[in-house]
Amino acid sequence: MIIQYIQLVIYTIILVIITNYFRFKGRTTFNKCFLVVSSLVLVEIEGLLFDFLNTKWILAVFIGVSVICFHILGGLVSAAVSGLILFVQIGESDLTVLFSYLSFAGLVYLLASLVSNTQIESDHWLNKLTENSKQLNVFKEVSFSMQQTLNLQKLLKTILTSVTAGYGLGFNRAIILLIDENGSKLSGIMGTGPMTAEEGYKTWNRITKSKYNLMDLIENKESEKSIDLLLNERVMRLEIPLDEPNFLYRTLESETPLHIKGIDENDRALQLFAQQFNMSELAVFPLISQGTKVGILIVDNPVNKKPITATAIESVIPLANQAAIAIQHTRLYSKIEDMALKDGLTALFNQRAFQTVLEQHWTHRKQSPLSTILIDIDYFKHFNDTNGHLLGNQVLIQLADVIKSSIDNQDLAFRFGGEEFVVLLPSTSKEAAVQVAERIRMNVENTSFPCGEKQPAGRLTISLGVASTEEMQSSIAFDLVDIADRALYRAKEAGKNKVVC
């Protein structure tokens, strides 16, 4: 008897090995069938070794395996097969045994269902916990990155990368539009993601090979200027008015995300996005900070065509809220910075800004010449005494416009103080600077200013002093201004309305 049990164990082990081997060769249904057949073979081996002494009990194993593999149908069929085996091989046809098998199959099915449901629920909560943990990690990294900058462009790249990166929220593409100062329209600012599936897979392969994490991707977006060029060309051409009931307007008014699964032919803005970006399903998020509408975030999946779920939308909401606050703070900081660096009357940069820019360009003076033009209005005290300071302010504003229109894009104009202005000309020789100064002088002379005819020369004029680093020995940046100031003094002494260098 002991030898027979040893043989049964050996045969069982062999059967397990064979079953486990074939488990990796076929599909799920084949594997289940093979396992059921193997349990039936075990029943026959037991019958041959023990003359069907324990067959009734071994058949219970066959029934249990069948129920686990094929649920209630497997239980019914296996119970019937078990009854047939008992009748054919033992000659037993007791209905009580058949009923016991059916009851056992039902019990196994209930237990299997209970275990399966418990496992499903456990997996659900584990997945939810994992996803929440991932989102918290994303928010932590993004929040840290946002706190490191007050530069709007870098901030937007951080937001977009966190939404689209695999280590982030995992959408294929994201676009940000911001509301203008008047609140009348949305302008496309930046986007990230592919325009085609082929482009998307190429990017994913590159990221996978490089093994980037979220912070790596954010830094990579900063350094690689050529990324998403085609997408951003189209995004930056977007201007969507908010005086018509399009899908963007509805999102901002409702202050809740909008999930769009089909393109409404009556919504011109939505049709534009569908045509320009090949969008079919998208989620739209309002960017609102403390009741102030900042802009819109749009996400979609043009590459893997993954449906946008309610859970995916919920995962973006905290990030969208955080992004709105950060964008609003950055804009406010930019306005405050502009106020600190710009003259409130003429909107030109002020002397503080001039000193900063001068120092920046001063370091390159040996590679290319740096020139400056100092400008002063002739007889301006006489103008104010005759016409009043309010009209004098109008003249300053108009003169600033004339100066700006007279210089090239690379040149910078500043209000130096009072009635004095200064123009900084990078990579410009003294000779070229004199030509620019003469152009400014002539344009001012030919411009009609209010009450200009009351000036001693019969019109408003200016005197200009020019200086350049070409002939300078000094290593002090502001000495360039002193040289221009002395030239300006000589222009005044020479009769005004002149350019002197």
Residue 472 CA to residue 365 CA, distance in Å, equals 10
41 closest CA partner among 20, 16, 23, 64: 16
Which of helix, strand or coil describes residue 44?
A: helix
Distance CA 306, CA 56 (A): 51
Residue for token digits 């998403």? 228
- Among 379, 354, 372, CA closest to 463: 379
What are the distances in angstroms from CA 290 to CA 143, 184, 284, 322, 329? 18, 19, 19, 11, 11
| Distance separating alpha carbons of residues 48 and 415, to the nearest angstrom | 107
Helices (H), 211-279: 214-223, 229-235, 247-254, 268-277
Distance CA 411, CA 406 (A): 10
Q: Which residues are catalytic?
A: 419
| Angle at the Cα of 61 from the Cα atoms of 58 and 64, rounded to 5 degrees | 150
Which H/E stretch holds residue 476? none
List, as own/partner pairs, every contact residues 440-443 make where C-beta atoms lie below 8 angstroms and the sequence separation is at least 24, other chains included: 440/373, 440/375, 440/402, 440/403, 440/406, 440/407, 440/464, 441/497, 441/498, 441/499, 443/402, 443/405, 443/406
One-letter amino acid identity for 254? S
Structural contact between residues 371 and 432, judged by C-beta atoms closer than 8 angstroms = yes
126 conformational bin, left if phi > 0, alpha if psi -120 to 50, beta if neither? alpha
The residues near 194 (Cβ < 8 Å, ≥ 6 apart) are: 172, 173, 200, 203, 228, 231, 302, 303
Give 17's contacts (C-beta < 8 A, 6+ positions apart).
none
Q: How many CA atoms lie within 13 A of 495 on its CB side?
A: 2
d(CA 44, CA 136): 57
What's the distance, CA 370 to chain centroid? 40
Give burial (CB, 10 Å; 0-12/13-18/19+) of 408.
exposed
- 422 φ, ψ (degrees, to nearest 5): -135, 140
CA-nearest of 294, 186, 298 to 239 is: 186
Spatial separation of the C-alpha atoms in residues 174 and 200, rounded to whole Å = 13
